[in-house]
Chain A
């Protein structure tokens, strides 16, 4: 095998010489001075359904990569063996952008991008499998915002992946539907995993540790897709989230207190169960209303129909951090209870009641602590100096969202 050949076409073998080298089938690319251009060219000229293999080694890029061909699989030799390095990146909002459907990314790493790591936008049926995205210098506000970043997509799978060092969220799924994030690790990010303005999501089996906040389920105003709902967060290890918030100011995650385990903000029909929460210094589970003013008549800032049940709680709440930690602990004292709800409801419900379908429910083992802060909307003040700590008032249940099924998991 001639080592000077950087690109191996296995199928078909050759093309007319007077046209550009359009290849189908399978292409293998190895590191080298021309690898960046070869890979980008392969990503553009790939036939639908083809495979691009990345050999073991480190690839250096000065510009972002992009793929707009459907059905392509990009496969490396392992998340610690095939490394796409963007330390000298000069342009591009992300390291790798995917805008086509039915794409699979497997067994490689993207490191040290200037902006986001891997973004897939409007890319349906996208699979991230055994992918590592990392900023290798550790937490730093100069790191990119999102590690694995699917947005405006349907049928999103992230599994067995690892994200470290994102200055916003390690694994961030935004404005999407039908989502599975499982068996992955998010560490040393501001937010470990964030599901934002999305519906039908299962987040399970993940290890979320040493972030500022572990798992966030948010809904934000003034976006094309709002009304996040039907999210299940279960069987995750949410432990030792103790990294000071290093998000650049102005971002919504900048408000997340160090040591927040799982946080639900706005959204409807969110079930949090069978998780292990330990050593989260501000609060293990926080259920909150969107805190900022907004100009959007269609937005619902309150969390609705949230069920928290059967989680396991270790030590926590002993070091409430930042503005949020202070607001909570000023009301509850320290340690902060395991589960805290700000208690904000629409003003009409102050004078009447909240329908059973919309309430917050908590069913936990004896000894689990809870507080409803009974905050007043648009203020940071409770209407009463004593929070409601009677967890038994919140017993009840809600119909659980269906398991998310993804087409890419069924063909396997």
Chain B
């Protein structure tokens, strides 16, 4: 198993190396002002197919953030010789030069996620000396390169939905401040996704399947991790073999808790949805709203146990009105499947 995995990695690295020899452009990543074109960084050897350069490792998350049903391609680049430090709860402590890459794309038909891919935007989180920087690049029509959009952009996207209907999406490319609207921890721009619990599952590296944390340790991208077998693991919210409570809390952790935590942008709400929050009022259980305005929907509690229809959390996730909807950013559509799962969870609470 281990041998085949390593062989797979070797093949993957070789394939990348033979495609193009130029390295990632560290100077561009470290520049005070971002280049106008994404190609300047040298993160991809084949941008249209999202084939990364040498040293740029793909990854995914157990439970991903919902972004209007967009597909996402994630990569991590850590400059040679450096490693991230393990953290139990938060995203790992990445060294200067690290770049987290996330490309958002849509297939022509949501039922065929690997066909007719249209790349929309690629977001970069770059760890510079003074902290993280966030930039969004919007892809051109032929997907040969992407252009910086500091002030964000709205893009019309049309795809075939899972039920066969046409789905028109008013896709929002965030501006740099909106990036921080989610990626702020104690007011500092901070990665969210790559934490231990949400990386802790198998990934197919060019056909070789391996636990991502083990891969990161083996590649020396990660140090300080305790024995992999004992590490925290988030539930995949889609996995019906997992307990409903774990699936629900994992979904809320990923989709809400970057703001809804004591150190986050929604701290003043007092609603805290991290996976580890165990004060039940804090995670919404019979918690009254504060500063919710129309978001309360005339309901008394964030979560009314046993009654999803009387829970503000569901009301806000079902809305597309900017004054009501949650999350505030990152979606223009209702995540129907997830809301249905959360309704079942709340209806089962006592």
Chain A: residues with CB nearer than 8 A to chain B?
18-20, 22, 37-38, 40-41, 43-45, 62-64, 66-68, 89-93, 97, 99, 114-116, 121-122, 141-142, 144-146, 149, 151-152, 167-168, 172, 174-175, 220, 222-225, 248-252, 292, 294-296
Name the B residues within 8 Å of A167 (CB-CB).
Answer: 293-294
Name the A residues within 8 Å of B329 (CB-CB).
Answer: 91-92
Contact size class for B? 35 or more
Name the B residues within 8 Å of A172 (CB-CB).
Answer: 291
Name the B residues within 8 Å of A252 (CB-CB).
Answer: 288, 290
Name the A residues within 8 Å of B178 (CB-CB).
Answer: 66
Chain B: residues with CB nearer than 8 A to chain A?
31, 33-36, 148, 150-152, 154, 170, 172, 175-178, 180-181, 184, 187, 262, 265, 267-268, 270, 281-282, 286-300, 312, 321-323, 328-329, 332
The residue on A at minimum CB distance from B265 is A121
Contact present for B291 and A145 (CB under 8 Å): yes
* Measured CA separation A34–B312 after assembly (Å): 37
Contact present for B298 and A43 (CB under 8 Å): no
Contact present for B282 and A91 (CB under 8 Å): no
B287 CB, nearest partner CB in chain A, Å: 6
Name the A residues within 8 Å of B292 (CB-CB).
Answer: 145, 250-251
With beta carbons under 8 angstroms apart, the residue of A92, A168, A222, A249 that contacts B322 is: A92
Contact present for A66 and B177 (CB under 8 Å): yes
Contact present for A44 and B151 (CB under 8 Å): yes
Contact present for A145 and B294 (CB under 8 Å): yes
B301 CB, nearest partner CB in chain A, Å: 9
Contact present for A114 and B268 (CB under 8 Å): no
B156 CB, nearest partner CB in chain A, Å: 12
Contact present for B332 and A91 (CB under 8 Å): yes
Most chain A beta carbons < 10 A, residue from B36, B287, B291, B329: B291
Name the A residues within 8 Å of B181 (CB-CB).
Answer: 66, 97
Name the A residues within 8 Å of B287 (CB-CB).
Answer: 222
Name the B residues within 8 Å of A121 (CB-CB).
Answer: 265, 268
The residue on B at minimum CB distance from A221 is B288
* Measured CA separation A358–B215 after assembly (Å): 62
Name the A residues within 8 Å of B36 (CB-CB).
Answer: 18-20
The A interface, classified by DSSP as helix, strand, loop or mixed, is loop
The 29 listed contacts between A and B (C-beta, < 8 Å) are A20-B33, A40-B151, A40-B175, A44-B150, A66-B178, A90-B332, A92-B328, A99-B177, A99-B180, A114-B321, A114-B322, A115-B323, A144-B323, A145-B292, A145-B323, A152-B267, A174-B268, A220-B290, A222-B288, A222-B290, A223-B268, A223-B270, A248-B293, A248-B298, A249-B298, A249-B299, A250-B299, A252-B288, A292-B288
Name the B residues within 8 Å of A40 (CB-CB).
Answer: 151-152, 175, 177
With beta carbons under 8 angstroms apart, the residue of B282, B288, B293 that contacts A116 is: B293
The residue on A at minimum CB distance from B312 is A250
The residue on A at minimum CB distance from B327 is A93
Contact present for B328 and A224 (CB under 8 Å): no
With beta carbons under 8 angstroms apart, the residue of A37, A67, A91 that contacts B177 is: A67
A61 CB, nearest partner CB in chain B, Å: 11
* Measured CA separation A296–B31 after assembly (Å): 49
The residue on A at minimum CB distance from B33 is A19
Name the B residues within 8 Å of A92 (CB-CB).
Answer: 322, 328-329
Given contacts A40-B151, A99-B187, A149-B291, 16 further A-B contacts (CB under 8 A): A20-B150, A40-B177, A44-B177, A66-B181, A68-B176, A97-B177, A114-B323, A115-B293, A142-B323, A146-B293, A168-B291, A222-B270, A222-B281, A222-B287, A248-B297, A250-B289
Name the A residues within 8 Å of B176 (CB-CB).
Answer: 44, 68
* Measured CA separation A97–B178 after assembly (Å): 10
* Measured CA separation A89–B300 after assembly (Å): 27
The residue on A at minimum CB distance from B271 is A222
> With contacts A19-B36, A222-B282, A296-B281 known, is A91 near B328, CB below 8 A?
yes
Name the A residues within 8 Å of B323 (CB-CB).
Answer: 93, 114-115, 142, 144-145
* Measured CA separation A29–B148 after assembly (Å): 21
* Measured CA separation A113–B288 after assembly (Å): 24
Name the B residues within 8 Å of A223 (CB-CB).
Answer: 268, 270, 290
Name the A residues within 8 Å of B265 (CB-CB).
Answer: 99, 121
* Measured CA separation A97–B295 after assembly (Å): 18
* Measured CA separation A116–B295 after assembly (Å): 11
B338 CB, nearest partner CB in chain A, Å: 19
> With contacts A115-B322, A222-B282, A250-B296 known, is A68 near B180, CB below 8 A?
yes
B346 CB, nearest partner CB in chain A, Å: 17
Name the A residues within 8 Å of B322 (CB-CB).
Answer: 64, 89-93, 114-115
Report, nearest first, the 4 A-B pairs whose CB atoms are least far apart.
Answer: A145-B293, A250-B296, A249-B298, A66-B177
* Measured CA separation A91–B152 after assembly (Å): 13
Name the A residues within 8 Å of B295 (CB-CB).
Answer: 145
A38 CB, nearest partner CB in chain B, Å: 8
Name the A residues within 8 Å of B321 (CB-CB).
Answer: 114
* Measured CA separation A294–B265 after assembly (Å): 24
B151 CB, nearest partner CB in chain A, Å: 4
Name the A residues within 8 Å of B282 (CB-CB).
Answer: 222
Contact present for B296 and A251 (CB under 8 Å): yes
B18 CB, nearest partner CB in chain A, Å: 31
B131 CB, nearest partner CB in chain A, Å: 12
* Measured CA separation A233–B265 after assembly (Å): 30
B21 CB, nearest partner CB in chain A, Å: 24
Contact present for B291 and A90 (CB under 8 Å): no
* Measured CA separation A64–B181 after assembly (Å): 12
The residue on A at minimum CB distance from B331 is A91
Name the B residues within 8 Å of A292 (CB-CB).
Answer: 288
The residue on A at minimum CB distance from B326 is A93
* Measured CA separation A212–B297 after assembly (Å): 20
Name the B residues within 8 Å of A45 (CB-CB).
Answer: 150
Contact present for A62 and B293 (CB under 8 Å): no
* Measured CA separation A184–B148 after assembly (Å): 42
* Measured CA separation A67–B175 after assembly (Å): 11
* Measured CA separation A172–B268 after assembly (Å): 13
With beta carbons under 8 angstroms apart, the residue of B33, B175, B268, B293 that contacts A224 is: B268
With beta carbons under 8 angstroms apart, the residue of A22, A37, A168 that contacts B151 is: A37
